């Protein structure tokens, strides 16, 4: 029996990379939120009894023949609706306004000017920076709407019709680059839509546990435990739901960082009491990856090998009394799904080994209790489950491990080089007291690149190491972390002195977008 959920704030996904981020912002404000596809009809969306509807952005133009639309008239209802970017233009067009290509584009940080009384912006600064990403503009607002803000290049950057509880903005209030973003969403949801907070993390956990029980029933499950926070929390949820029906399988694929196997064997088992099987598959993975440089191939090979190992482990767990293991638990998060092309009309950025890298002949039914959550929600759930901070507060680490932090083919020698450099960077960051200020700190080996250096009064021809510290709230957008130069210098000095094969350390100062957090 699924937990009774509040009436949802629905986010209609028009193909935006940020659709789930909008839903997450709504949850942060204490309201239950779900994402629905624009392929649903208005009748199907309204049948979900939404308390409010948010229309996401998207890459298309509303006037194109194949532009995403919701079948039927969504605006004939009295449900409060808020449009963002494409959703703003969609609302304008559907209600009799006009949208066109003005020849002026706005991308990135832009100054917004509030030019009339507004429920969305009341009490805020008259001018502030917002995040724009559009080539089309609303050129005429629908009848009955007040134009409330503009930019230097966009005359209609927001509008609202308070009596009908309809409003929209051209920019993206959901991203951290937009000042007052949460305040604007809050104004719409609580003041214009008239909603009250109704959603907590405890409800997320309760619903996830009940969902697992419904799916697995009396069956047996194994969990692909990586040692990261995602798989650990997923396993803990499933353990809470089905107890001894779960066995965690930790695969040492040889692509781990220093000390990770020991941390899993000690911290996770002590915290949860979960049955743990450790499989040493280092030789197997290295052989499968031999000579492979293409990052997509690496991910798919690693994903396929994981599943083969799990299948073999499942067979070894079968006894006459226990029966067959039919379920595989994974710590898939929504950003993994989006970047693997699993969103509505979204592009594939890169395959994640537990999403796009799974083999077609998968013999398990996947159990993914975190699939709709972001990292910060996962950490909160983990703390509610009593997991230690050594696991819950751990920096994200990709399932394919160090294989995708080696730009080039993977072999034991290159893994040893990267593992040594990574251990130095992590230790110095921890010693500095700045570990919690950084979202993630990939250390990357440019294995196919050599640079000339001078070490020990002699010429060297070594590898460069890239330091990639980033700050983020959700991994959907990120910026490079401004760590003290003294810390960067110390890390660089130790790596070049203690790792003989490395003679150069560089700092990656690229944001996301345009770059991704991981290099591969």
What residues are annotated to the active site? 85, 172, 174
SS3 194: coil
Pairing of strands 458-467, 443-445: antiparallel
Rg from Cα positions in the chain: 25
E strands present in 292-445: 325-329, 365-367, 443-445
CB 329 within 8 A of CB 221: yes
242, 287, 349, 457 from 296: Cα distances, Å: 35, 17, 10, 40
Q: Which residue in 481, 395, 378, 386 sits closest to 430, CA to CA?
A: 395
Give Cβ neighbours of residue 389 (< 8 Å, ≥ 6 apart): none
> CA 391, 237, 395 angle in degrees (round to 5)?
25
CB 11 within 8 A of CB 5: no
Give Cβ neighbours of residue 391 (< 8 Å, ≥ 6 apart): 229, 232, 263, 267, 268, 271, 382
Give Cβ neighbours of residue 218 (< 8 Å, ≥ 6 apart): 245
Burial class (CB in 10 A: 0-12, 13-18, 19+), 184: buried
Instruction: Centre a 10 Å sphere on the Cβ of residue 78 and count the other Cβ atoms it contains.
Output: 8
> CA 162, 165, 170 angle in degrees (round to 5)?
85
- Omega before 513 within 30 of 0, i.e. cis: yes
Query: Residue length, the chain?
Result: 520
Q: List alpha helices for 105-244, DSSP H.
A: 181-186, 201-216, 229-242
CB 345 within 8 A of CB 357: no
């Amino acid at each position: 029996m699924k937990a009774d959920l509040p009436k949802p704030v629905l986010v209609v996904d028009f193909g935006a990379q940020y659709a789930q981020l909008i839903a997450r912002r709504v949850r942060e404000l204490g309201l239950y939120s779900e994402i629905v596809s624009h392929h649903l009809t208005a009748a199907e969306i309204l049948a979900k009894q939404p308390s409010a509807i948010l229309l996401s952005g998207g890459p298309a133009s509303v006037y194109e023949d194949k532009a995403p639309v919701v079948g039927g008239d969504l605006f004939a209802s009295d449900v409060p609706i808020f449009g963002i970017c494409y959703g703003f233009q969609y609302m304008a067009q559907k209600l009799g306004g006009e949208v066109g290509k003005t020849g002026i584009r706005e991308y990135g940080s832009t100054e917004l000017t509030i030019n009339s009384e507004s429920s969305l912006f009341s009490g805020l600064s008259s001018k502030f920076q917002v995040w724009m990403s559009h080539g089309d503009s609303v050129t005429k607002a629908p009848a009955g709407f007040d134009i409330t803000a503009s930019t230097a290049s966009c005359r209609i950057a927001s509008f609202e019709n308070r009596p009908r509880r309809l409003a929209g903005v051209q920019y993206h209030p959901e991203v951290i680059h937009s000042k007052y973003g949460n305040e604007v969403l809050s104004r719409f949801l609580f003041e214009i839509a008239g909603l009250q907070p109704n959603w907590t993390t405890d409800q997320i956990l309760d619903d996830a546990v009940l969902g697992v029980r419904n799916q697995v029933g009396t069956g047996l499950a194994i969990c692909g435990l990586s040692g990261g926070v995602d798989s650990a929390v997923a396993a803990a949820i499933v353990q809470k739901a089905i107890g001894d029906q779960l066995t965690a399988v930790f695969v040492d694929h040889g692509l781990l960082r220093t000390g990770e196997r020991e941390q899993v064997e000690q911290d996770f088992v002590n915290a949860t009491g979960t049955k743990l099987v450790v499989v040493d598959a280092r030789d197997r993975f290295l052989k499968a990856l031999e000579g492979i440089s293409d990052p997509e191939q690496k991910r798919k090979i690693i994903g396929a090998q994981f599943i083969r190992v799990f299948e073999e482990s499942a067979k070894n767990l079968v006894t006459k009394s226990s029966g067959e293991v039919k379920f595989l638990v994974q710590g898939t998060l929504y950003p993994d799904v989006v970047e693997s092309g699993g969103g509505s009309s979204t592009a594939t950025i890169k395959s994640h080994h537990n999403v796009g890298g799974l083999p077609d002949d998968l013999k398990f039914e996947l159990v993914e209790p975190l699939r709709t959550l972001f990292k910060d929600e996962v950490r909160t759930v983990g703390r509610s489950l009593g997991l230690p901070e050594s696991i819950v507060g751990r920096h994200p680490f990709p399932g394919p491990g160090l294989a995708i932090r080696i730009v080039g083919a993977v072999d034991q020698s290159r893994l040893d080089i990267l593992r040594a450099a990574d251990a130095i960077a992590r230790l110095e960051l921890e010693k500095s007291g700045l570990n919690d200020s950084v979202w993630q700190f990939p250390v990357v080996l440019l294995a196919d690149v050599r640079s000339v250096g001078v070490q020990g009064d002699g010429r060297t021809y070594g590898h460069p190491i890239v330091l990639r510290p980033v700050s983020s709230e959700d991994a959907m957008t990120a910026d490079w972390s401004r760590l003290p130069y003294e810390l960067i210098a110390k890390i660089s000095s130790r790596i070049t002195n203690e790792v003989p094969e490395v003679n150069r350390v560089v700092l990656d100062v690229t944001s996301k977008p345009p770059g991704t957090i991981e290099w591969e």
